Amino acid sequence: MTETSDQGKDPLVAGRREQHQKILESGGYPHRYDRTHLADDLHRLFSDLAPGSETDTRVSVAGRLMLHRSFGKLQFGTLQDVTGTIQLFVDRATLGDDGANRFSEVDLGDWLGASGVIMTTRKGELSVRVDDFVVLQKSLRPFPDKWHGLHDIELRSRRRYVDLMVNEEARNVARARTVVVAELRRQFETRGFIEVETPVLLREATGAMARPFATHHHALDMDMYLRIATELFLKRLVVGGMEKVFEIGRIFRNEGVDSTHNPEFTMLEAYEAFADYTDMMTLVEEVIPEVARAVTGGTKVSYQGRELDLTPPLRRATMTDLVSERLGHPVDLDSDKGELAGWAGELGIEVEEVWSQARLISEIYEQAVEPEIWAPTLVTHQPVEVSPLARRNPDDPRLADRFELVVAGSEYANAFSELNDPDDQRERFEAQAVARAAGDLEAHPVDEDYLLALEYGLPPTGGLGIGVDRLVMLLTDQAHIREVILFPTLRPESQP
RNA sequence: GGGCCGCUAGCUCAAUUGGCUAGAGCAUCCGGCUCUUAACCGGAGGGUUGCGGGUUCGAGUCCCGCGCGGCCUACCA
């Protein structure tokens, strides 16, 4: 891990540098290369070619050399491009002595362009009979083990480019991620949502309960924060009459790093005027299965060795019902506080004296219920106390018209009917401000500008947030968020 | 943040209870080979065992500190 970018003394690098120098002295590398076919094209076009065939079809291919086998007068190379691999067949009779000698000097990892006619070997391997080739750029670095590849998790994360070269799984996950994002975008666009961009750099980080990253604007001499949500800006746009908006955006939270948390992650948030949380349920039940279909071809997926069925309708349950079920005893917001605290204590939860019934139920849910939920479940009616931006339920104003999509013990989406009463919103903010003053760095700050926007009138609105990274994890069967983020946050490599 | 574990050649991995010159495969270099699929065969080179200190006749192995990573745990999506 401690090698630096200049290793002239390393014999493995020195040999490659020698070749590199030779190429530079004899005219250097080409600035471009005309490729006629991708590897995948060739396999598709010539899938019927019998073993030992020769054709008149001349093609040019380009890619990175992954394998090289030499038989003296005959050589085989495996060239990998963005679509797959194609074999290069190099014999002296075709390429000539000079060319063949030059080819015997190429190293694993070099970028090559090669042209020749299509053929199949006696064993039937589709190949390009190389009559001309060029080194497009040498790789000066030793290549990972051609069979075992790169296993070290740290190296794979730090040098994702090498991981992508040698590990097909890494390429598949990266591709699946783009499919997820593209399909999410398509699903919302086809439903009439407009994609917008809201600020990342803010005077105050609002819209969620989390610690922000702090920075400073020098010209304005002003402390600023990276956003922790897009919520309040998107709702301002609904106030402005953009009735259906969404944003797929990078969010930054200055909190712990573990298998499901990276300091920067991607969230989709969508808001729809004249809709409520039940409309958001329908939206989730439509969109998530469509994304699953786009990635896996179906709505039943296997995650970490267990089956998951994302086919709608999804199971629905209220938070208090789930907690009651877990306790084997009915509880709700009217339950005795001491009794609830007793249940919580039995579950190993460290109860604080000041906690209300709402907080106790919510803590029991988070610590003892949510981790046990496997099948996709829409958990509804969280207490208002833990939902500072959600609208109250008309039947019980202590509960929010809200739901979370929980799958395999984790939260994948969070949605509610948006609180649009400016006075109620002010009171919620002020309750948060008390906690903030008491040292809770994650409590929501009062956002006066947002309150002003609410006073202009937010129509009844449904809002939805989807954790994109986790969705990718679910659909690619990855247990760690670092596997679905190309360049996860890491400490700097230690220097010698 | 706390606890436990790991770090050996470019890569993937060995090394018995603290004991011989730290080994193997791939990669590299040299030689052989015109149909391989991780080609094969013969030979060679390659190590401050993460970094720093300590114990010991002797440390990859034991102890202490530091760095990076992993797992669990706590907060969060």
Which ipTM was obtained for this model? 0.91
Verify that A66 and A107 share a domain, yes or no: yes
Verify that A71 and A210 share a domain, yes or no: no
CB of A145 lies under 7 Å from some atom of strand B: yes
Structural domain includes residue A341:
no
Name the protein residue, with chain letter, whose CA is nearest the C1' of B74. A256
Structural domain includes residue A248:
yes
Verify that A231 and A305 share a domain, yes or no: yes
User: What does the block give as tokens for A180?
Assistant: 């997820």
pTM over 0.90: yes
A9 — pLDDT class (breaks 50, 70, 90): low
CB of A328 lies under 7 Å from some atom of strand B: no
Phi and psi angles of residue A378, each rounded to the nearest 5 degrees, phi first: -95, 105
How do residues A403-420 score in pLDDT, each as one tens digit? 999 999 899 999 999 999
Structural domain includes residue A326:
no
Taking Cα atoms as reference points, which of A6, A117, A16, A123 lies closest to residue A65?
A16
Domain region containing A37: 3-142
Verify that A270 and A195 share a domain, yes or no: yes
Verify that A129 and A234 share a domain, yes or no: no
Verify that A116 and A39 share a domain, yes or no: yes
Task: Give me the CA A121–C1' B25 separation in Å, rounded.
Answer: 28
User: What does the block give as tokens for A192?
Assistant: 């009439």
Q: Please, which positions of strand B sit below 7 A from a protein CB?
A: 1, 10-13, 25-29, 32-40, 45-46, 50-51, 67-77
CATH number, position A473: 3.30.930.10
How do residues A57-94 score in pLDDT, each as one tens digit? 999 999 999 999 999 899 999 999 999 999 999 999 99
Domain total in chain A:
2
* Largest Cα–Cα separation, chain A: 91
pLDDT exceeds cutoff 50 at A1: no
CB of A76 lies under 7 Å from some atom of strand B: yes
Burial of A117 (0-12, 13-18, 19+ CB in 10 A): middle
CB atoms within 10 A of CB A233: 22
Verify that A126 and A216 share a domain, yes or no: no
